[in-house]
Amino acid sequence: MSASFFRIVLGLLAGLLLGIAGRAQDSTITIGLKPAPPFVMEPGATGKPSGLSLEFWDLINDDLPARIEYRYFSSLDSLLAAVHTGQVDMSINPITVTDERMKRMDFSQPFYISGTTLVRPAQNSFWAFLQNFFSINFWRAAALLLGVLFVVGLLMWLVERKRNEAMFHRGLKGLGDGFWWSAVTMTTVGYGDKAPATPGGRVVGFVWMFAAILIISGITASIASSLTVQSLEEKITAVEDLRRFETGTVSGSSTEGFLKLYGVRPQRFASIEAALKALRQGNLEAVVYDRPILKHPLQQRDA
């Protein structure tokens, strides 16, 4: 899936900094945060948040004559609403710039360029083959093949049963003889244990020999297709392919809007950790989000 590039920025304006610098010494700047590793990480033993955004902010706030206060939010929606309504002075969270957001708030220049990425569970090829083998398409093709063999065998038995009883017996055994003959003739095995003796039987056999060449190629292709079509359907080569999958992302994120733009209706989660948990539990088939934020918990898990 090709990456769709976007800009992760700090919600900080140069003009805002100039205004802050002019505040009194005892003024307080409230900064809204939502954990988004590796950019914003929850407070550790020191009680202070950490991450790439905080390290960048530390280069600035030492020169500001104000006290810094952090306020935490549980979702991206609530954080953006707090910035928009003035509940916090600013946010240094990684935020993607969109036209809609620019109408409600101001952004600084980007300090990190990234893309959107996708994560899915590892596919087991043997298990995928078993799923395909027991799929309805496979058994439909197999049933069609058996049906054709039975009809041709029945026709041969009806023609031969009275004058060639040694090879095509009466009753159910004769039906089995006809089915066996049609199968070995289609597969060109030709054991010779069953052969028509009447003119009508030979006509049926002659027609079936040539018809079987065409029929078996079509049915074989159908069976082979049923064993591979599901594997092909599992592939994702474009955003539109995600419409076939249970996809999750972070609620209120630009990724959610991006997916909806292409007709994908993702499940919404408060955090990327919650979305990945749903993926591990089998409630999702794919998770889509900002590359560095999605990659970080996966690296931590593998470490």
How high is the pLDDT of residue 11?
A: 41
Count Cβ atoms within 10 A of the Cβ of residue 59 and give its class: 0-12 exposed, 13-18 middle, 19 or more buried. Answer: exposed
For residue range 87-137, what is the model confidence (pLDDT) as tens digits? Answer: 999 999 988 888 889 999 998 888 888 888 888 876 555 555 556 556 676
Residue 141 has pLDDT above 50, yes or no: yes
Burial label for 286, CB within 10 Å (0-12, 13-18, 19+), is buried
Q: Where in the chain is the domain with CATH 1.10.287.70?
A: 126-233
Apex CA 61: angle with CA 108 and CA 53, to 5°? Answer: 55
Residue 222 has pLDDT above 70, yes or no: no
Q: Please, which residues have CB within 8 angstroms of residue 253's CB and are 6 or more apart in sequence?
A: 76, 96, 289, 290
Q: Could you tell me where in the chain the CATH 3.40.190.10 domains are found? A: 5-115
pLDDT at 15 over 50: no
User: What are the contacts of 261-267 at 24+ separation with CB within 8 A?
Assistant: 264/239, 264/240, 266/242
Give the model's pLDDT for residue 200.
87
Residue 259 in this model has a pLDDT that exceeds 90: yes
Q: What is the mean pLDDT of residues 4-19?
A: 44
**Nearest Cα to 279, choosing from 121, 117, 116?**
121
Which pLDDT band, with edges at 50, 70 and 90, does 212 fall under?
Answer: confident
Our measurement of the distance from residue 203's CA atom to the centroid of its chain's CA atoms, rounded to an integer in Å, reads: 54
Tell me which fold the domain 126-233 belongs to: Helix Hairpins (1.10.287)
Residue 264 pLDDT > 90, yes or no?
yes
| CATH topology (fold) of 5-115 | D-Maltodextrin-Binding Protein; domain 2 (3.40.190)
**Cβ atoms 252, 76 nearer than 8 A:** yes
Our CA dihedral for 204, 205, 206, 212, rounded to 10 degrees, sits at 100
Q: Which of the four pLDDT bands, split at 50, 70 and 90, describes residue 3?
A: very low
User: Is 70 exceeded by the pLDDT of residue 10?
Assistant: no
Higher pLDDT, 301 or 237: 237
Q: At what angle do helices 199-233 and 125-133 cross, to 10 degrees?
A: 140
More confident residue, 230 or 72: 72
Decide if 82 contacts 88 (C-beta within 8 A): yes
> What average pLDDT is seen over the chain?
80
Pure H helices in 28-170 = 52-61, 76-85, 99-102, 125-133, 136-160
- pLDDT for the residue numbered 84: 92
CB neighbours of residue 234 within 10 Å = 15
Q: How far apart are CA 173 and CA 181, in angstroms?
A: 12
**Is 255:219 a contact under the CB 8 Å cutoff?**
no
pLDDT at 269 over 90: yes
pLDDT-derived band at 255, boundaries 50, 70, 90: very high
- CB of 248 closer than 8 Å to CB of 265: no
In whole angstroms, give the CA distance from residue 297 to residue 303. Answer: 10
Tell me, what's the pLDDT at 129? 55
Q: Quote the pLDDT of residue 144.
A: 84
